[in-house]
Structure formats: structure tokens, C-alpha cells
Amino acid sequence: MIEEKIAEDFINATVNMDMKSAKDACKNAISQGIDPYKFIEMAITKALTIIGDKFENEEFFLPELFMAAEIVKKAMKILEPHIKGTEKRKNLGKIVIGTAKSDMHDIGKNIVSFFLQAEGFEVIDLGVDVSPDKFVESVRNEKPDILAISTLITLTMPEVSNTLKALENANLRNGIKIIIGGAPITQEFVDDIGADALAKNVIDGVKKCKGWVGL
């Protein structure tokens, strides 16, 4: 299948740190009419999983992780304008999103943020390394319907828990739904800290957020 071949081209290019071929594969995917979301799952997420495994096995080191992240950012710039729904302006509700304190990973968060906006949510993106105090301040000022937190590092998971405690201490926990995403997050953790939902991927996350606003 052509989409598998193009996904493979992207994966090989990313693993070989070949920015030009990776961008060409994305452009090819678009010109072949491949759904950008499908391409993100088949090519981008898969490439990053391979890079992550190589990093874990000490075949790759930090420079490769950084380079792969740069390639993915450029790839997303090519794909984003072709994601359906970008033209919608429905205002389904307001979402504050950010990556937990001490965590700099933002590729997944940015994808989620992009899709939430494409679905019609107003999204306030606080970026990476967001302290519990900063989340609290934003919830106080923005009064969102949903707070969405991302974290990819096991060691930064306690910061998610600290954020929920800080919200409770500030009397801001009631009235908002809280969704947590990122590879190390489990349902048990979400239940333990008293968040409302776990999102295993962007589709699951967007579906749960839409469910909360009655869609």
C-alpha cells in the first residue's frame, strides 16, 4: 500500500536524521491524499517510538533525540494545514493545557492542543515545565472547563499530583474536569490523584473532552 510505503520513507528518514527526505515524505503523503492524522500515527509516532527505543538501548543519545524532535516539528508544520476541522470555529469550551513541571516534552501536547482547537475548543497552551502554581493561576484567571496535563517522564508524574493538590488548596478543583496524558500515565495513577480521565492518545483525549461538553 502506498501509505505504508510513504510512512516507511518517513520513518527511515527520521531514523537516519535526514530532514529533507522526512519533509518530502510528508509532502508526498499530502499529495497522495493520506489523512494527516493517520500519517501521524503510522509514521511520526512510530518513528519516535523507534528513536526512543534506540535511546534506551544506548544506540542513540540526546543529540539524536533533539534532531528527531526538530524533524517532527517541521513535519507537523507540513501536515497541520491539511487536518480537517481547522476551519471550524464552534467554541465548545475552554481548555488550559500544559506539560508538567520539569518536563520539556511537547510534541504530544502540541498535537493534542492542535486537534482540540480543530474540534472547536478554545485552547490556552501554557507550554512546557509548567509549575503547579502556574496551572493554578491560569485556572483562576481563565476559568476553563477542562485542565489538560501532559507528562512523559516517570520522575515528573508527582508534579501532576502536586498540581491537583494545589488546585484543591486554592478551592479551584470543583467545576473543572481534569485529563492527564503521556506514556507513563496509568489509570491507577489517575484514580489515585483524583483526576477525571486518562488519555492514551489524542483521539481518546479529544473524545473524552467532547463527552464532557455534552457531545
Query: Residue 11's closest CA among 1, 2, 21?
Result: 21
H/E stretch holding 162 reads: helix 157-169
Query: Which residue type, as a one-letter code, is found at position 125?
Result: D
* Shortest distance, position 171 Cβ to ligand B12, whole Å: 23
Per DSSP, what are the bridge partners of residue 95?
123, 146
Stretch that binds ligand B12, among 8-16, 64-72, 76-84, 134-142 (CB under 6 A): 64-72
Q: Is residue 26 a contact point for ligand B12 (CB under 6 A)?
A: no
178 near ligand B12, judged by CB under 6 A: no
81: which DSSP letter?
G
Q: Is 154 in the site for ligand B12 (CB under 6 A)?
A: yes
Q: If DSSP codes are grouped into helix, strand and coil, which group holds residue 197?
A: strand
Q: Looking at 8-16, 85-93, 162-170, 196-204, which segment touches ligand B12 (CB under 6 A)? A: 196-204
Binder among 49, 91, 141, 186 for ligand B12 (CB under 6 A): 49
* CA dist., res. 69 & res. 188, Å (int): 30
Closest CA to 129 of 107, 175, 165, 98: 98
Chain position carrying cell 524533524:
71
Instruction: Give the residue carrying C-alpha cell 498540581.
Output: 163
For ligand B12, which residue of 93, 98, 132, 182 counts as binding (CB under 6 A)? 182
Among 4-12, 79-87, 164-172, 182-190, the segment contacting ligand B12 (CB under 6 A) = 182-190
CB 113 within 8 A of CB 72: no
Q: Which residue has the cell 509516532?
A: 45
Binding flag, residue 184, ligand B12 (CB under 6 A): yes
Binding track, positions 128-147, relative to ligand B12; x by CB under 6 A: --------------------
Name the residues that contact ligand B12, by CB under 6 A: 45, 48-49, 51-52, 55-56, 62, 65-66, 68-69, 102-109, 111-112, 148, 150, 152-155, 179, 181-184, 199, 201-202, 205
